[in-house]
Amino acid sequence: MTFDRIIDRTQNTLRALIGAAGALLALSAAAGPITINFDTLPGGSPLPNNSAVDVQYLADDVTISGSATVTPIATSNDCAGGCGSLVQGQILENWNSTGDRTQTITISFTDPVSDISFAFVPFGQYGDNVSVQAFAADTQVFQAAAGTQRVSASDLSYLFAIDADGLTKLQLSGRGMWVFGLDNLTFTVDDPPAVPEPATLTLAGLAFAALGLSRRRAL
């Protein structure tokens, strides 16, 4: 094999390794939003109606709890016929399978998240409100009131969105004991500090080795 062919082959290998390493880095950085619909579990298996929900979504960085007296919260198919286009199937409600209700639903995130949204489902009387709060660590960074009146004659749900970063906890709190719920909880896990995976490190190392070989051959 001639010296020029060795150089050409080395350069082609270098380009391929660098391209593969870049593709792996791009893939690892492309983390899209996560949506929890309370119909299926993270692995895709069904979540039956009236299921108690607490740590089933830990794989999606989420744990769910009620107040100290009512836990866990449970799913419900109350909305199957009349909650509007934002709701499909089951919702998460502030009650459990024994019929107890809580004033607060707490959703905790293992890692900080951003851009939370959900379909809010109210059942309360006109004028009641549910307080929606979001926290970064222990600091409240967002608070707003969600009305519990029907938005229209045929639609009981509406979209609620929180545009903030670094959120670790979401709370929905009602003043009375009216039932309220949510569906299609969507959020994006904030990007962690860039730590290359072993495969990416290996490819990068090979690329640098090829680059060193190419320089030695060229001398």
Q: Is the peptide bond before 33 cis (omega within 30 degrees of 0)?
A: no
* Residue 58: pLDDT over 80: yes
Determine, yes or no, domain membership for 54. yes
Residues 107 and 18 placed together within one structural domain of the fold: no
Determine, yes or no, domain membership for 194. no
DSSP-based three-state secondary structure for 183? strand
**Residues 73, 181: Cα–Cα separation, whole Å:** 10
Distances (CA, A) of 138 to 70, 134, 166, 181: 22, 10, 11, 24
**What is the band of 124 on the pLDDT scale with cuts at 50, 70, 90?**
low
Residue 61, Ramachandran bin (φ over 0: left; ψ between -120 and 50: alpha; else beta): left
DSSP-based three-state secondary structure for 77? coil
pLDDT higher for 119 or 78?
A: 119
Say which residue the tokens 């996560």 belong to. Answer: 34
Residues 113 and 137 placed together within one structural domain of the fold: yes
Determine, yes or no, domain membership for 41. yes
**Residues 108, 112: Cα–Cα separation, whole Å:** 9
CB of 66 within 8 A of CB of 94?
A: yes
* Residue 161: pLDDT over 90: yes
Model pLDDT for residues 176-187, shown as the tens digit of each residue = 667 888 999 999
User: What percentage of residues in the chain have a pLDDT greater than 70?
Assistant: 62
pLDDT of 88 reads 83
DSSP-based three-state secondary structure for 214? helix
pLDDT of 65 reads 84
* Residue 188: pLDDT over 60: yes
**What is the band of 87 on the pLDDT scale with cuts at 50, 70, 90?**
confident
Residues 94 and 41 placed together within one structural domain of the fold: yes
pLDDT of 186 reads 97
Residues 13 and 111 placed together within one structural domain of the fold: no
Please report, as a single letter, which amino acid is at residue 174: G
Residues 56 and 90 placed together within one structural domain of the fold: yes
Residue 18: domain span? 3-29+199-218
CB of 112 within 8 A of CB of 171?
A: no
**What is the band of 171 on the pLDDT scale with cuts at 50, 70, 90?**
very high
Mean pLDDT of 212-217: 49
**What is the band of 81 on the pLDDT scale with cuts at 50, 70, 90?**
low
Residues 53 and 80 placed together within one structural domain of the fold: yes
pLDDT higher for 82 or 4?
A: 82
| DSSP 8-class letter at 159 | E
Residues 52 and 157 placed together within one structural domain of the fold: yes
Q: Which of 85, 110, 94 is nearest to 171 (CA)?
A: 94
**What is the band of 189 on the pLDDT scale with cuts at 50, 70, 90?**
very high
Determine, yes or no, domain membership for 175. yes
Determine, yes or no, domain membership for 124. yes
Report pTM: 0.71
- Say which CATH number the domain at 69 has: 2.60.120
Query: Apex CA 117: angle with CA 178 and CA 109, to 5°?
Result: 90
Residues 20 and 98 placed together within one structural domain of the fold: no
pLDDT of 67 reads 60
* Residue 83: pLDDT over 90: no
Please report, as a single letter, which amino acid is at residue 35: T
